[in-house]
Amino acid sequence: MAAPVESRGLRGLIGRTFLYAPPERIAGSVYGTIVVLGVLAAGSDSDAIDAWELDVLLVGTVLVLWIAHVYAHGIAESIAAGTPLGRQSLRALAARESSIALAAVGPGIVLLLGAFGLMGDENAVWLALAVGTLILAFQGVRYARATGLRRRGMLVVVAANVTLGLVIVGLKVWVGD
């Protein structure tokens, strides 16, 4: 019997990391993706979009947010336990919350296509926004499956996630495409 797709080589690493991470990481992925879409919308509000600068802003913002998130949860867990967190606990917390930072990978790679001149910077931004919105849809499906929702419930969750993405895309258009 063949091994599941998610356990084979680089494809398996990508699947486990970005597509099929444990269900408890869905929230971080959704949260991180909404932040990514917000940075894309706000950071691309001029005619002189530079995909490289926007990618650096995107990755920097998400990493700082991830560090702040880990720090804040670390403080909360430390208070709840009544003791400082050890290295191992902090590493586990950072890994658990890594989906926030990993949310920047897909859109960030797309922005690199613009940065390296493989497509126009404006097109790279729009494609990155589309990738982020698709990630939100995918995470909605994952949530629905993990919680046993039927088709109607799945459609509601996916629609809610995609609506969040489209509201941010609409913000980009409104702010000044």
Helices 151-176 and 26-43 meet at what angle, rounded to 10? 20
Residues 75-132: pLDDT tens digits?
A: 999 999 999 989 999 999 999 899 999 999 999 999 999 999 999 999 999 999 999 9
pLDDT at 28 over 80: yes
In terms of Cα–Cα distance, which of 40, 38, 14, 169 is closest to 102? Answer: 14
How many beta carbons lie within 10 A of that of residue 53, not counting itself? 14
The set of residues, in sequence order, having a beta carbon less than 8 Å from that of 50 and lying 6+ positions away, is 115, 121
Query: Is residue 78 in some structural domain?
Result: yes
Residues 42-70: pLDDT tens digits?
A: 888 767 789 999 999 999 999 999 999 99
Q: Residue 43 has what pLDDT?
A: 84
Nearest-5° Cα angle at 98, 15 to 72: 160
Q: Residue 127 has what pLDDT?
A: 96
Residues 118-170: pLDDT tens digits?
A: 999 999 999 999 999 999 999 999 989 989 999 999 999 999 989 988 888 78
Query: Is residue 5 in some structural domain?
Result: no
pLDDT at 4 over 50: no
Query: Is residue 91 in some structural domain?
Result: yes
Alpha-carbon gap, residue 114 to 174, rounded angstroms: 23
**What's the domain range around 95?**
27-176
- 10: confidence class by pLDDT, cuts 50, 70, 90: very low
Alpha-carbon gap, residue 77 to 62, rounded angstroms: 22
Query: Is residue 48 in some structural domain?
Result: yes
Query: Is residue 16 in some structural domain?
Result: no
Alpha-carbon gap, residue 93 to 20, rounded angstroms: 19
Query: Is residue 1 in some structural domain?
Result: no
Query: Is residue 68 in some structural domain?
Result: yes
Q: Residue 1 has what pLDDT?
A: 39
- 3: confidence class by pLDDT, cuts 50, 70, 90: very low
pLDDT at 9 over 50: yes
Query: Is residue 65 in some structural domain?
Result: yes
Number of domains composing the chain: 1
More confident residue, 4 or 63: 63
Q: What is the pTM of this model?
A: 0.82
How many beta carbons lie within 10 A of that of residue 132, not counting itself? 29
| Letter string b/e over residues 95-108, b meaning 16 or more CB atoms within 10 A of that residue's CB | ebbbbbbbbbbbbb
Q: Residue 73 has what pLDDT?
A: 93
